[in-house]
């Protein structure tokens, strides 16, 4: 902060603007601060000034007739059941807050803009431009914002607003017994988080689910990648024939829509008549109760994750191995390195290096693999007997438990609190890891 001030001071002392001009510019800025656009009007930029003023009038009208009420609704969440719908009031409140935030940014920006414009115009060498030219310059300065707009709107409306909204539900008592509009919701502070993270049956379930989630995430991300890399390396052996057929077969699991292969594999793991137990019967292995026993169900899930997940890393690493520069390999061969040596010292490091960012994303993908868990076991078997509460089963991971909390259990508040916990876990993990990957570091050097 102090550095920023010293830099600003330095710039102010060295830009050759007289204190008189600066003072008048600041006055213009002050005028704009009191009444949006006033500074522009004083400088005779009438179109801009009145346009900005219109924005302020629109904002004030919005707040008087709608916004103030909405923000009040966000704080109280309503008072009369059936008339006030707490969730709606919450959303309206957020919209009012977002609009206010946007207006404050605009207000600050136009104060700075007024000041800068005055400094620019009061320069002796300043040549007045036509309105058309000015408009063109204004457009040019704001190109980036216009291009960013579609994506930013989509992200803020489609991801951020739902995210903020669901996080704030985590601070209310919204559940099966408190459903708007029949009930008015209340803010309960951190009570839901206390229930989930501190002592209690819900907390016990949370940590049991978290434990399996961690085991699952590691297995379901490492094993498919390991198999994929092994296959790619084996296929890279020039002596292996029929590579195309093998590759074609290995790509199949990736090309089939996930929910279909999951449902098919689920039926193959059926204890009574599933294909796997029938094949086991041929070689006199007793029937395995695949999906009705906790440990075998977990094993089955991991096997299925390998089946569905190894194709992509295989294709990827095959591509990477193929693209390793022939020069390096040739140079190494000339220096007398054996093929094994080349493989260990050149191919593998380069492979791991290029595959790591995608592996990290895959790690997050396994953490969030709701489809696999839910379509194969629905989180079961047996939750209650093993001490799980709130509908969780022994193979539930956090994300599938969240789904159950919000659909079957109607514990919307717990579900939302859990989504905030997930948010923090994923964000911390991904920021920590992505900062270190090449994709991000190269960005740093690019500018």
Binding residues for other proteins restricted to 21-50, rule: CB under 8 A: none
Indicate which single residue of 111, 219, 320, 390 sits in contact with other proteins (rule: CB under 8 A): 320
Query: Is 190 among the residues that bind other proteins (CB under 8 A)?
Result: no
Closest among 267, 295, 294, 270 to 281, alpha carbons compared: 270
Indicate which single residue of 82, 249, 328, 384 sits in contact with other proteins (rule: CB under 8 A): 249
CB-nearer residue toward other proteins: 45 or 395: 395
Please choose, out of 30-38, 186-194, 248-256, 291-299, the segment that lies near other proteins by the rule CB under 8 A: 248-256
Q: Are 379 and 401 in contact (CB under 8 A)?
A: yes
Query: Is 100 among the residues that bind other proteins (CB under 8 A)?
Result: no
CB-nearer residue toward other proteins: 28 or 418: 418
DSSP 3-state assignment of 299? helix
CB-nearer residue toward other proteins: 128 or 257: 257
Treating both helix axes as pointing N-terminal to C-terminal, what angle do 86-121 and 19-34 enclose, rounded to 10 degrees? 150
Indicate which single residue of 26, 53, 210, 251 sits in contact with other proteins (rule: CB under 8 A): 251
Backbone angles phi and psi of 215, in degrees to 5: -60, -45
Closest among 178, 182, 202, 177 to 191, alpha carbons compared: 202
In the complex, minimum distance from the CB of residue 31 to other proteins, in angstroms, rounded to a whole number: 25
In the complex, minimum distance from the CB of residue 165 to other proteins, in angstroms, rounded to a whole number: 4
How does DSSP assign 189-210, residue by residue?
TTHHHHHHHSSSHHHHHHHHHH
Query: Is 412 among the residues that bind other proteins (CB under 8 A)?
Result: yes
Q: Rounded to an integer, what distance in angstroms lies between the CA atom of residue 357 and that of residue 350?
A: 13
Closest among 123, 22, 99 to 30, alpha carbons compared: 22
In the complex, minimum distance from the CB of residue 159 to other proteins, in angstroms, rounded to a whole number: 6
Query: Is 74 among the residues that bind other proteins (CB under 8 A)?
Result: no
In the complex, minimum distance from the CB of residue 226 to other proteins, in angstroms, rounded to a whole number: 12
Alpha-helix residue ranges (DSSP H) falling in 122-179: 131-141, 143-155, 161-169
In the complex, minimum distance from the CB of residue 100 to other proteins, in angstroms, rounded to a whole number: 20
Query: Is 193 among the residues that bind other proteins (CB under 8 A)?
Result: no
Q: Rounded to an integer, what distance in angstroms lies between the CA atom of residue 403 and that of residue 424?
A: 18
In the complex, minimum distance from the CB of residue 356 to other proteins, in angstroms, rounded to a whole number: 9
Tokens of 324: 């390793």
Indicate which single residue of 148, 215, 218, 328 sits in contact with other proteins (rule: CB under 8 A): 148
In the complex, minimum distance from the CB of residue 392 to other proteins, in angstroms, rounded to a whole number: 15
Tokens of 182: 């029949």
Closest among 291, 261, 295 to 276, alpha carbons compared: 291
Q: Rounded to an integer, what distance in angstroms lies between the CA atom of residue 317 and that of residue 443?
A: 24
Residues 392-411 contacting other proteins, CB under 8 A: 399, 402-403, 406-407
Query: Is 372 among the residues that bind other proteins (CB under 8 A)?
Result: no
Query: Is 147 among the residues that bind other proteins (CB under 8 A)?
Result: yes
Please choose, out of 15-23, 39-47, 287-295, 362-370, the segment that lies near other proteins by the rule CB under 8 A: 362-370
Residues 321-340 contacting other proteins, CB under 8 A: none
Which residue(s) pair with 172 in the sheet? Answer: 187
Query: Is 316 among the residues that bind other proteins (CB under 8 A)?
Result: yes
Query: What separation in angstroms does the CA of 252 have from each of 112, 231, 247?
Result: 59, 14, 9
């Amino acid at each position: 902060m102090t550095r920023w001030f010293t830099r600003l001071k330095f710039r102010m002392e060295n830009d050759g603007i007289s204190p008189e001009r600066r003072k008048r510019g600041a006055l213009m800025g002050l005028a704009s601060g009191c009444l949006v656009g006033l500074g522009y009007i004083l400088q005779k930029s009438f179109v801009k000034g009145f346009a900005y003023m219109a924005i302020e009038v629109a904002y004030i009208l919005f707040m008087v007739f709608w916004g103030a009420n909405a923000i009040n609704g966000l704080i109280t969440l309503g008072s009369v059941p059936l008339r006030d719908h707490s969730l709606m009031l919450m959303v309206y409140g957020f919209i009012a807050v977002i609009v206010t935030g946007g207006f404050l940014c605009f207000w600050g920006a136009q104060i700075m803009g007024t000041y800068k414009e005055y400094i620019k115009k009061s320069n002796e060498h300043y040549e007045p431009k036509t309105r058309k030219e000015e408009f063109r310059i204004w457009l040019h300065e704001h190109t980036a914002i216009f291009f960013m707009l579609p994506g930013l709107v989509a992200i803020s409306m489609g991801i951020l607003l739902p995210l903020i909204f669901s996080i704030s539900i985590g601070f209310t008592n919204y559940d099966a017994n408190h459903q708007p509009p029949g009930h008015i919701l209340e803010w309960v502070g951190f009570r839901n988080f206390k229930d989930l993270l501190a002592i209690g049956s819900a907390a016990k379930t949370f940590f049991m689910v978290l434990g399996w989630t961690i085991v699952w995430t590691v297995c379901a991300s490492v094993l498919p990648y390991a198999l994929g890399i092994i296959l790619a390396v084996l296929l890279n052996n020039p002596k292996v024939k029929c590579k195309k057929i093998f590759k074609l077969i290995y790509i199949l699991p990736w090309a089939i829509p996930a929910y279909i292969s999951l449902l098919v594999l689920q039926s193959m793991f059926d204890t009574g008549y599933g294909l796997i137990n029938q094949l086991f019967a041929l070689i006199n292995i007793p029937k395995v109760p695949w999906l009705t026993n906790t440990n075998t169900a977990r094993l089955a899930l991991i096997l299925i994750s390998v089946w569905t997940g190894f194709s992509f890393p295989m294709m990827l690493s095959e591509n990477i191995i193929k693209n390793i520069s022939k020069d390096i390999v040739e140079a190494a061969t000339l220096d007398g390195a054996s093929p094994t040596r080349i493989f260990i010292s050149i191919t593998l490091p380069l492979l791991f290096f290029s595959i790591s960012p995608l592996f990290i994303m895959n790690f997050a993908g396994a953490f969030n693999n709701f489809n696999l868990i839910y379509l194969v076991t629905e989180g079961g078997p047996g939750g209650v007997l093993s001490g799980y509460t709130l509908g969780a089963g022994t193979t539930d991971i956090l994300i599938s438990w969240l789904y159950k909390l919000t659909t079957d259990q109607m514990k919307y508040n717990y579900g939302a609190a859990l989504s905030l916990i997930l948010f923090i876990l994923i964000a911390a993990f991904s920021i920590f890891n992505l900062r270190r990957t090449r994709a991000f570091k190269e960005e740093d050097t690019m500018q």
